[in-house]
Chains A and B, each alone.
Chain A
Amino acid sequence: AQKITQTQPGMFVQEKEAVTLDCTYDTSDPSYGLFWYKQPSSGEMIFLIYQGSYDQQNATEGRYSLNFQKARKSANLVISASQLGDSAMYFCAMREGRGGSNYKLTFGKGTLLTVNP
């Protein structure tokens, strides 16, 4: 089974509007972390936001927020007030386990976001 599923290959949003990118995950480990990265056409993976499995509140970083629904195993990224520079590929990733095993990231296939003027 896929550990990270991103069901939206592509998404379009108008500039200044909000957009939600979906991510569901599969793990039996009670300790895990969820990440979102942005990959512009230049290729670099840019870290956006992190949510730990034991975090009580949803993570926020500026215009980015993570809608974490643990029971549904979903970790959707919400981008508010979209900007043209937000056009990029977005990847959801998970790290499972504690201590020495807690390092390897597993990525989804990504969602290509296009922001229209």
Chain B
Amino acid sequence: GAGVSQTPSNKVTEKGKYVELRCDPISGHTALYWYRQSLGQGPEFLIYFQGTGAADDSGLPNDRFFAVRPEGSVSTLKIQRTERGDSAVYLCASSLTPMGETQYFGPGTRLLVL
């Protein structure tokens, strides 16, 4: 079946602009995760959804970052007033349930803030 998909694959924006990054999880997966991967680093946890609700958003760096999953499937990560330091690869993952299941990752969105 189809894996996790993310759009756009690349996004270039200017400092101060607003961006939205989309994640479409594997069909039937109830748990969805966002991670951020800076250059030369491993991914770092941002937020986790179980169904429609954000069960843990402790990894979001500040209040410019927000994510939604209104129907329990597709999720959107929203970044307001982007800064150059937001440049990174944003990875989305999903799992069948959150309880000890393997997380399957999408190809990521490469965000560059100029």
Contacts and interface: CB of A to CB of B under 8 A. Distances in A.
Interface of A: 4, 33, 35, 37, 42-47, 50, 52, 91, 93, 95, 99-100, 102-110
Contact of B93 (A4, A43, A45): A45
Contact of A110 (B33, B42, B89, B93): B42
**B contact residues, range:** 20 to 34
B67 to A, nearest CB: 15
A52 B100 CA distance: 9
Contacts, number: 62
Given A47-B104, A104-B48, 8 more contacts: A43-B108, A47-B103, A95-B100, A103-B48, A104-B33, A104-B45, A107-B42, A107-B43
B91 A102 contact: no
B44 interface: yes
A48 B102 CA distance: 10
Contacts of A45: 43, 91, 93, 105
A39 B103 CA distance: 14
